[in-house]
């Protein structure tokens, strides 16, 4: 099997695992916090951004933890790509706006942007610091 075929299989496997993890996380969040706001999607996106930031920082070329390219793509493109839900976020925001719930739509956009940027920064900082040890 060629390296390209293996790459696609690993990314596909990571995407499937990430998608299943996203599905598993969304239900408990909705039951815990209610279904009138997309809490599950917001939490998954923030967590996924933290994870991809940490992994990118911990495995950066200048870092101490060497991870082969295929493994990085499995985690970052596959697992994190399948786990985070920017397309779901966009659709849910559109639905909130279409239902004239403009404050909730704005809160979803603002909260997602702030939490996801904070998550990726924190994850990258922790991964880089961990890699330097």
Domain count across the chain: 1
pLDDT digits (tens, 9 = 90+) for 28-79: 988 899 888 999 989 999 999 999 999 998 998 887 788 999 999 999 999 9
Distances (CA, A) of 132 to 46, 50, 79, 122: 24, 18, 24, 15
Separation CA 94–CA 90 (nearest Å): 6
The yes-or-no verdict on residue 16 having pLDDT over 90 is yes
- Average pLDDT in the 90-100 region? 93
pLDDT at position 30, please? 86
Task: Identify the CA nearest to 121 among candidates 21, 53, 35, 29.
Answer: 53
**What tokens appear for 113 in the block?**
């942007």
Where in the sequence is the domain holding 65, given as residue range(s)?
Answer: 3-132
- The pTM (predicted TM-score) of the whole model is 0.79
């Amino acid at each position: 099997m060629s390296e390209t075929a293996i790459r696609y299989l690993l990314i596909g496997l990571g995407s499937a695992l990430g998608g299943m993890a996203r599905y598993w996380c969304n239900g408990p969040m909705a039951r815990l916090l209610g279904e009138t706001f997309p809490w599950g999607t917001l939490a998954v996106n923030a967590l996924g951004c933290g994870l991809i930031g940490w992994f990118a920082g911990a495995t950066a070329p200048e870092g101490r933890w060497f991870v082969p390219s295929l493994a990085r793509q499995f985690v970052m493109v596959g697992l994190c790509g399948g786990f985070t839900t920017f397309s779901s976020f966009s659709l849910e925001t559109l639905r909130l706006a279409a239902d004239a719930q403009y404050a909730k739509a704005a809160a979803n956009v603002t909260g997602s942007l702030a939490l996801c940027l904070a998550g990726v920064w924190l994850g990258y900082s922790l991964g880089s610091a961990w890699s330097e040890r």
